[in-house]
Copies of this chain bind each other. A is one copy, B any other.
Amino acid sequence: MLTSVPAFKRLPRAVRERQMLDSAARVFSRRGYHAASMDEIAEDAGVSKPMVYAYLGTKEELFLACLRREATRLTEVVAGAVEPGAPADRQLWHGVRAFFDVVATNREGWTVLYRQARGLEPFAAELSGMRARMVQVVTALLSAAMTGSGGEATDTELEVMAHALVGAGESLADWMTDHPDADPAKTATQMMNVAWLGADRLLTGATWHPGVTEAG
């Protein structure tokens, strides 16, 4: 009927893939994996369903693609935040801070995806892999901090400790997504307090605080 106003169509593949991944993340996070339909994702991306299949493949592959993108984003940001030479608490601090910043920036996209993937059997492995890397990083950090501090703990003890810390972080990340007005930096500080000082000292009035003034 009309050749006029093809408007904004016929985009190169790379761009469309980005759009589709964005839409997918959005819809998956809103609806959850199963409730999300490929039709809705396609519609959200302003494209028709077969396009999605042509570019990103099946629903499972699509979700996996989202997952990987977000996982690498998070791990890279966190990994990039630690400065190797610094003392243990400062390293931990920078990691924690970066983590909460990413989550706060990505609320819609990230934490909900993260909440999704656990327990969905095809994806649990992927997520737990990422989690394992996180735990590994923290374990290494703790191990390094211990040498020369006179402490002694087995590898598994350190690992358990790391699991507790990571779990605490995730929990606070969840809490943050439910409280959009919460300040990431403040939350990160509180996380450091409980993780580093422990409940005991915290309750008797001790506080940990970032030593140098932080930007933002």
Contacts from A to B (Cβ < 8 Å): 31-32, 34-35, 88-89, 92, 112, 115-116, 118-121, 142, 145-146, 149-153, 157, 160-161, 163-172, 174-175, 187, 190-191, 193-205
**Cβ contacts under 8 Å, A31 to chain B:** 121
**Cβ contacts under 8 Å, A203 to chain B:** 88, 142, 145-146, 149, 151, 153
Taking the nearest CB of chain B, how far is it from the CB of A111, in angstroms?
10
Tell me if B190 and A160 are in contact (CB < 8 A): yes
**Cβ contacts under 8 Å, A175 to chain B:** 160, 163
Taking the nearest CB of chain B, how far is it from the CB of A188, in angstroms?
11
Contact of A119 among B115, B121, B151, B163 (CB under 8 A): B115
Pairs A–B under 8 Å by Cβ, sample size 26: A31-B121, A34-B34, A35-B121, A89-B200, A115-B118, A115-B119, A119-B119, A142-B203, A149-B203, A153-B202, A153-B203, A160-B172, A161-B194, A161-B202, A164-B168, A164-B190, A164-B195, A167-B172, A168-B171, A194-B195, A194-B198, A195-B198, A195-B199, A196-B199, A197-B198, A198-B200
**Cβ contacts under 8 Å, A205 to chain B:** 149-152
Which 4 A-B residue pairings sit nearest by Cβ, starting from the closest?
A: A167-B171, A198-B198, A164-B168, A115-B119
**Cβ contacts under 8 Å, A88 to chain B:** 203
Report the Cα distance A145→B200, complex, angstroms. 9
Report the Cα distance A118→B113, complex, angstroms. 11
Given contacts A35-B121, A151-B204, A197-B198, contact A172 B163 (CB under 8 A): yes
Tell me if B168 and A165 are in contact (CB < 8 A): yes
Report the Cα distance A34→B164, complex, angstroms. 30
Taking the nearest CB of chain B, how far is it from the CB of A17, in angstroms?
25
Report the Cα distance A142→B201, complex, angstroms. 12
